[in-house]
C-alpha cells in the first residue's frame, strides 16, 4: 500500500488552545500577548470564526496531502506560537509526522469462489482497503452484524464458533433507530477487528435485503487503514446468496 507522511498539529496543544482560537487571514505572527489579556478576549463569535474558516469551501475539506491541509496546519501553528504555547513536536516544532494509507493497488491475483462459482472482481466483489493479503479456503458462517457490544448486552458472536472460518456480516442494520444504536460498533474496521479477535480467517461484508447496491470498489475504499491482519472483502448480496442456494 502507498503511504505518505503529513504534518499534524499536536493533539495536546490543540486541546489546550481550542477554546481560545480566533482565526483571521494568515499573516505574519504579531507580538505575543499576556495570557490574562488573551483570556479576557475569549468570545463565542471568535470561536465560531475559527470553525467557519477551517470548514469553509475555501479549505476544500483539507484532504490528506492537499495545499489546503498545509495552509490550515501552518495557520494553527502560527496561532499556537502567538499564544506562547511550547512546541512539543518534531525538531522543536508544533508538527508531528505520522503515516497514513492514502491508497492501495490490487495484486495480480484476486479471486472469490463460493462453492466453485467465481464472482467477478470489481463487479460482484472487491477487497477492502485494509485487507490482509492471504489465500483463504474455509467454510462460511453468517454472524449478523458482526458486532460485540458488552455495554449494550449484545453479541452477534454469542454461541458462534468463528475460529478458522470466513464470517459473513451485514454492513449495517436496515432500521434507522437500530443503526444509530450500534453506530459506535458499525464501522467496517471495527467489525473486521472483532472478527479477527473471534478467530475468523476472513470477513465478507454484504448489504441487508432491499438496500440498493453500490459500486463495490467505492465501498471497499471508504475506510483507509493499513493491513489489519485479516482478509476482508465487500461483496454484493445477490451473487453471494445465489452461491449459497446453489450449494443447496
pLDDT tens-place string over residues 42-58: 667 767 877 888 888 88
- Going by pLDDT thresholds of 50, 70 and 90, the confidence category of residue 10 is very low
Highest mean pLDDT among 41-45, 115-119, 122-126: 122-126
DSSP 246: H
pLDDT (mean) for 61-80: 82
Q: What is the pLDDT of residue 165?
A: 93
- Going by pLDDT thresholds of 50, 70 and 90, the confidence category of residue 18 is very low
Q: What is the pLDDT of residue 36?
A: 63
For 21, 50, 162, the CA distances from 47, given in Å and listed in that order, are 6, 5, 49
Where is pLDDT greater, at 36 or 67?
Answer: 67
Where is pLDDT greater, at 239 or 147?
Answer: 147
- Going by pLDDT thresholds of 50, 70 and 90, the confidence category of residue 6 is very low
pLDDT (mean) for 222-227: 69
Closest CA to 185 of 224, 157, 213, 219: 157
Do residues 206 and 237 make contact, with C-beta atoms less than 8 angstroms apart?
yes
pLDDT (mean) for 208-236: 79
Please give the domain boundaries of the chain with CATH numbers for all domains: 2-103 (no CATH), 112-246 (3.50.30.30)
What is the sign of the dihedral through the CA atoms of 139, 145, 149 and 153?
negative
Q: What is the pTM of this model?
A: 0.59
Q: What is the pLDDT of residue 26?
A: 41
Find where cell 465560531 sits: 48
Bridge partner residues of 113 (DSSP)? 118
Query: How crowded is the C-beta side of 230, counted as CA atoms within 13 Å?
Result: 25
Q: What is the pLDDT of residue 101?
A: 59
Closest CA to 198 of 146, 151, 150: 146
Where is pLDDT greater, at 151 or 225?
Answer: 151
For 127, 131, 231, 232, the CA distances from 134, given in Å and listed in that order, are 11, 9, 6, 10
For the chain, give the mean pLDDT.
76
Where is pLDDT greater, at 33 or 8?
Answer: 33
Which tens digits make up the pLDDT trace of 147-202? 999 988 999 999 999 999 999 999 876 665 566 777 788 889 999 999 999 999 99
Helix (H, G, I), strand (E, B) or coil at 221: coil
Q: What is the pLDDT of residue 224?
A: 63
For 117, 125, 215, the CA distances from 242, given in Å and listed in that order, are 10, 14, 19
pLDDT at 238 over 60: yes
Give 20-85 as a DSSP string.
G----S---------HHHHHHT--HHHHHHHHHHHTSGGGGGG-TT-HHHHHHHHHHHHHHHHTTP
Q: What is the pLDDT of residue 168?
A: 92
Burial (CB < 10 A; 0-12, 13-18, 19+), residue 198, is: buried
Would residue 144 be called left, alpha or beta, if left means φ above 0 and alpha means ψ between -120 and 50 degrees? left
Cα separation, 44 vs 193, in Å, equals 40
Query: How crowded is the C-beta side of 237, counted as CA atoms within 13 Å?
Result: 14
Do residues 238 and 125 make contact, with C-beta atoms less than 8 angstroms apart?
no
Amino acid at each position: 500500500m502507498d503511504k505518505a507522511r503529513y504534518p499534524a498539529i499536536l493533539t495536546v496543544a490543540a486541546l489546550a488552545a481550542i477554546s481560545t482560537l480566533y482565526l483571521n487571514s494568515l499573516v505574519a505572527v504579531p507580538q505575543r500577548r499576556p495570557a490574562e489579556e488573551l483570556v479576557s478576549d475569549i468570545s463565542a463569535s471568535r470561536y465560531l470564526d475559527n470553525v467557519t474558516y477551517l470548514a469553509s469551501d475555501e479549505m476544500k475539506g483539507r484532504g490528506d496531502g492537499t495545499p489546503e491541509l498545509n495552509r490550515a496546519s501552518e495557520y494553527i501553528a502560527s496561532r499556537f506560537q502567538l499564544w506562547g504555547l511550547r512546541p512539543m513536536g518534531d525538531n522543536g516544532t508544533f508538527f508531528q509526522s505520522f503515516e497514513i494509507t492514502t491508497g492501495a493497488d490490487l495484486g495480480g491475483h484476486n479471486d472469490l469462489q463460493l462453492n466453485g462459482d467465481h464472482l467477478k472482481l470489481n463487479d460482484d466483489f472487491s477487497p477492502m482497503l485494509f485487507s490482509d493479503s492471504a489465500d483463504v479456503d474455509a467454510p462460511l458462517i453468517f454472524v449478523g452484524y458482526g458486532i460485540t457490544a458488552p455495554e449494550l448486552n449484545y453479541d452477534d458472536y454469542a454461541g458462534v464458533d468463528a475460529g478458522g472460518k470466513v464470517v459473513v456480516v451485514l454492513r449495517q442494520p436496515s432500521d434507522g433507530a437500530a443503526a444509530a444504536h450500534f453506530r459506535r460498533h458499525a464501522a467496517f474496521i471495527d467489525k473486521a477487528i472483532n472478527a479477527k479477535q473471534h478467530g475468523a480467517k476472513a470477513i465478507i461484508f454484504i448489504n441487508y435485503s432491499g438496500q440498493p447496491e453500490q459500486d463495490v470498489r467505492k465501498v471497499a475504499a471508504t475506510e483507509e487503514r493499513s493491513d489489519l491482519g485479516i482478509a476482508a472483502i465487500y461483496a454484493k448480496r445477490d451473487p453471494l446468496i445465489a452461491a449459497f442456494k446453489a450449494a443447496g
